Structures are given as structure tokens and as C-alpha cells.
Chains A and B, each alone.
Chain A
């Protein structure tokens, strides 16, 4: 026993020191929906490694399910006060209102970031930063990456069909090209012009909303601005009917959409396998393609989302920003450290790591630089196409807590129209009534 005394004492000291060291480390939790995707995992792991090297007293922990499950889980966590120190949000800026409003307070569930953003150069340099506002205060930092949608296409399939992609300017051009590309191949399988999610996945509505609804003013209220009252809800008007009918005809009349895509991953698979020739997606698709098969990048090109011709007028695509952004929980025990990490992510050093995900880094200081353009030419092309062709300011979803419910209503009715092939006018009338009922 005496022989063991000294080793035991040393072991005890080591355990105590470890415990003390562990306690001194600040543990920052970050929850997100993109960590399950290979390109984003790579970028976030690089960010963690670099930051922890510079800040050895900080330990960053990532977690989160995939996109579909993330949102409901996040709502429950915020209500029960168990969300992470840093919460990632994406897509329409109006999601912030939904989640922020789950807790009382001027900025709700998230920390007020005005002192770090307002009046600083970040306010202008970070793409989408100005949209991250709740009750007049900044609650998020657009510090990761962004992207607007375009139409990616397989160059080889276009060359085979003798089609010049640059001739696709309007939605009617797009439809004609999709028809030319839809055919039976020599091996008996079908090739389709276009891939879209036509299933119970949320994208059954989301894709067509941004492609055709918003550009022609088919919004919930005019420009999705208040007042949100029953009399101001315009769902089911002529623009909505046109948009839904056009999309429905693409699927059932012209049959240019590959059937049976269960979710967006399925649709991307069809594109990579040469079953569909065109895919609406954002710059994250470039990173995904690189992860899937780098050689495919040589066959990948992009055009701008087409203008929509409606009632004799031509409406350009709306410059929707699908930014991935971060917010600090008002329950965080380490808000200062969390903010410090998020601000570091806006630096050129961090943005270079962010570019590994394939999306366009948010800080324009970096994303408009020569280095970035050389490494990611397709993304650079999309950015310049968007500058040239897309309409600003973007129409955003309404910044109201009812947005989740409105989305669910529209997803269900989109399924009725695009899966069950129900009459578009009837479907939209019912949708309008349900949305109006939310505001009575």
C-alpha cells in the first residue's frame, strides 16, 4: 500500500488539475441544421480548429439534426429554454420573428447585437445583414455564407440537344428548353428537362414560391408587408392562379419534371445521374457536387433563374438571399464569448475557411476578391448574374410568428395541386380562407 501512495497522490493531483482546467474552458454550443451535410461539416470543423487554436480557453461543440427535423426541435428548445449558446438560422429572414417571439423581451429569444453591428462596416459588408432585424434591433450576424438560386444545368446534355443555355431568358424559354430535353433515351430510360421536389417535402411549395410566385407579386399580402389582416390577404388572386397553374402544367401537361423525387437530395441525385438536365439550386450545390464527384464540376454550369412573363410584362427573378446566419441565445451563459466567435467568423481568415462549404461567404470583402473568384468560378458567375438580372430589394416572407402556420397551409395546398392535381382555383381559395382565419 505504501508503494502505491505516491502514484495515487500524483493521480489525484492530475485529476484535480484537469477538473480545474476543464472548468476554466468556456464551452460554446452551436446548433445547426447543416452540420449533417459534408461540405458544411468540413467548413465548420475548419472554423472550430482555427478558433480553438487561437483561443485555447474555448471549446466549441456543434450539434443538430438535418433540415427537416431542425425547426420543430428548435422551437421546443427555445420554449423550454434549452437551446444552444449559438443558434443557426437560414432561408427567409422572417424565420427570426417566429423564433425570437417565443420568448418575451425586446429582442425575444436572442441577444441584441446593435452595439456590434449598427454603424459599423459589417452592416454594409455582410450580405443579408440588414434583414436580421427584430423589433428594430439586430439579433443575428450574417457571418457564414449566402446564396441566391440559379438554374444549374448539365453542359453535356445541352450540347447533345444543341441548346444554347444563354437563350433561356424567360419562363417560357425555360419551358421550351425543358420540353426539348425531355425524351426517352437509347437505353429506354427517361431523361427529363427539369427536376423539382413533388412530394410531401416542404420544398414542394418553397421552390415554386421563389421561382414564380414572388417575382410576379403572388405574395400573402402586397409585398408581404403589413397590415396582416383578412382583407389584405391576396392569396388566390390572379397572380397566384397563374403561378400555380403554370407549375402544375409543367408537371402534368408538359411532363417535363422528373416524377417521384421524395426530397431535394433525391432530385440532386437525379441531376448527378443525368436523369434531369436542369436543377434549381443555390451555390451550396457546387460544394455538394464537388463532394459527390469532383469530375462532375466540369459538366456543370449555371444560368440565372428566368424572368417570369405574366400579363404581358416581364418580371425578373427576386434576389432572395438564402443566408446561413447565427444568433446568440438570450439564455446563453457565455454571450460575450459567443459574440466574439461569431464576429471572428466575419474576418477574411475565417471566410476563407467558410468558402470550403461551396456557398458564397457573407463578407463581400472576401467574396468579391480575386482569390475567391479563382477558386469558385461558378459561384462568382452566379453572383454576377444576380447583380445583372435579379430584382432588388428582395421580397421577404412576412416577419410574423404566424409564418410557420402559413407555410404549413401552403405546403398542404401545394401538395393538393402538384401531387393530387386538384383544381388550382379551388385549392388557392381554400388556402386563402385558412390564412385569413389566422388573422381574424
Chain B
């Protein structure tokens, strides 16, 4: 053993001190970049923190948190967020699963199809949103043009400035952008299923749907759970799509919780309230994150 190694493996520091030394820089980086901002935000949520009054920052305790219960816009943003998350997660999963099943077939051109399918997911979010803004344009948008051309609509539709359509449009863009990732993840899972399972099922007389129900879905369960949890976490934090399309309008119709927080912080300059709302979102995403980590642990131990 060389002298340096002997020093690092000093019995006083413990037999395994080398790994800690190696991991320390990353831990420090994470503490600075992740833990400190979180701690700061939590701290800010207990103070007034109205930026337009610098130097005046009284402690308010849980006032911001309690006020949210009576804030109709906060409640509205929670409802919108729940709708947005549930519908987009489910639809991305369903479309992704169908796509994965198709891409798993050994047919001509499937290689090219697998490459093309990734494009929506690979495109930058803001670029996608700006393109859809043009496509949904009332006067010059391609959607109104095509729908009118086939006679589905007689007059152009105000996709983005209609309070009943604005949220479905945002969901559509989210689903269009997100299903390829689901498809790729599930495809990887499908390719891990041994074909002997299907052969055995076929011998037992199971048709396609029974094989799907009793072989494919159960085997895909770990991947499915992973996909669901990650989609939930990402969609709860989603900001760019809804913001670029409509900034939470018209009249709060697409005001996702992240937009509520953004406007509280940067337009109203009320950092205390924004921090409190951010902490609540953090708690919800942590619940899903802990569930995800526990799932990973269980999958590891099952192996």
C-alpha cells in the first residue's frame, strides 16, 4: 500500500473514508446549488418579503400558508394543476404505450420510425410552443385552415383566447411533446420481456389481448410505475408550456400553480407568498420522489 493511501485509510477516520472524500465535492455542490436555495426558500416563506419594501421584512410565521386556503386564485391554480397533471399523464402514457407496442413489432421501417418518434421530445420546449402558437393562430393558423377546408368548422376558432379551449390546447401541446419519452421508456421495458413467456401463454391458448393483460402489463409494471411517477413530478413542475402559450390566461384559465408562483414573485414582488406556495409544491413533489426512490429500492432488492 502506498503512503498516501495509508493516510486516507487512517483507522481514526474509518476504514471507508476514501469514498467519502471522493463524494464530498459533489455533496458540496449539491448543498450549494440545491439544498441552500431550498432552505432559503423555506426561510423566506415565514417572512413578509415584499420586495418593493426593502429593509422592512417582518416575521409572519404561517400567515402565508394559512392565507392560501382563502385565496380563490390559489385554489383555482391547484384545480387547474390537478386537471393538467392527471389528463396529460394518463394520455401520454396511453399514447406512449400504444406507440411502444407498435415500435416493438418487427416490421420494415421500424428503425426509422423509432428515430422519427423521438423528434417532438428532442425539440426545445419554447420552440415547440412558439410553433404551436402560430399553428393555433386565429387568422393564419394551419389548424383553422385545415379544419375549415374539410368542413369541420365554419368559422375560425380562437384556440388560445377561449377560456374553455386554452387549457385543452396547453394539454395537447404537453402530450404531443411528452409521449415519445414514454414510448421509448416502455419500448425498452418491452424489449426486456423474454419471448418464452409469450410462447408459453400462446401454448396455453391466450390470444393477443390476454397475452398483453397477463404477460406484458405485469412485466412492465416496474417501468410503468417509474414512468408514472416521473411524469407526475415533471408535470407538477411544468411551467414553460403554459407560460409561453398563454401566461396563465385568459383570466386565470390556464394558471398552473407554477405560474401562480411566478406571478406572485416577479409581478407582485411578494416573495414571501411565492416562497410559501413553492414550499407546498416541493412537499407534493417530494412525496412522489420518495415513492419513486422506494420503488427503485424494491426493484433492486427483487433482483
Contact = CB atoms under 8 A, between A and B. Distances in A.
A405 interface: yes
Contacts of B114: none
Contacts of B54: 101-104
A408 B263 contact: yes
A401 interface: yes
A280 to B, nearest CB: 18
B88 to A, nearest CB: 20
Contacts of A98: 52, 269
A200 B156 contact: no
A266 interface: yes
A394 interface: no
Contact of A200 (B138, B250, B268, B269): B250
B266 A413 contact: no
A13 interface: no
A433 B162 CA distance: 25
Contacts of B247: 200
Contact of A260 (B55, B156, B250): B156
Given A98-B52, A101-B54, A416 B138 contact: no
B2 interface: no
A402 B160 CA distance: 29
Contacts of B246: 200
Contact of A419 (B51, B52, B163): B163
Contacts of A413: 251
Interface stretch (A72-80, A85-93, A133-141, A310-318): A72-80
A401 B250 contact: no
A30 interface: no
Interface residues of A, number: 34
A415 B247 CA distance: 12
Interface centre among A275, A402, A404, A419, by most chain B C-beta atoms within 10 angstroms, is: A419
A198 B246 CA distance: 12
A72 B161 contact: no
A75 B271 CA distance: 12
A72 B53 contact: no
B266 A260 contact: no
A430 to B, nearest CB: 10
B260 to A, nearest CB: 11
A404 B268 contact: yes
A262 B251 contact: no
Nearest to A259: B138
B137 A260 contact: yes
Interface string A400-440: 01101101100111011001101000000000000000000
B139 interface: yes
Contact of B139 (A75, A260, A415, A420): A260
Interface of B: 51-55, 133, 137-139, 156, 158, 160-163, 246-252, 262-263, 266-270
Instruction: Report, nearest first, the 7 A-B pairs whose CB atoms are least far apart.
Output: A260-B138, A401-B52, A200-B249, A72-B266, A415-B251, A416-B251, A415-B250
10 contacts: A72-B267, A103-B54, A200-B246, A266-B137, A401-B269, A405-B270, A407-B267, A408-B267, A416-B250, A419-B250
Interface of A: 72, 75-76, 79, 98, 101-104, 198-200, 258-262, 266, 270, 275, 401-402, 404-405, 407-408, 411-413, 415-416, 419-420, 422
Given A75-B269, A412-B249, 13 more contacts: A72-B266, A76-B266, A102-B54, A199-B160, A200-B248, A200-B249, A259-B138, A261-B138, A266-B137, A270-B139, A401-B53, A404-B267, A416-B250
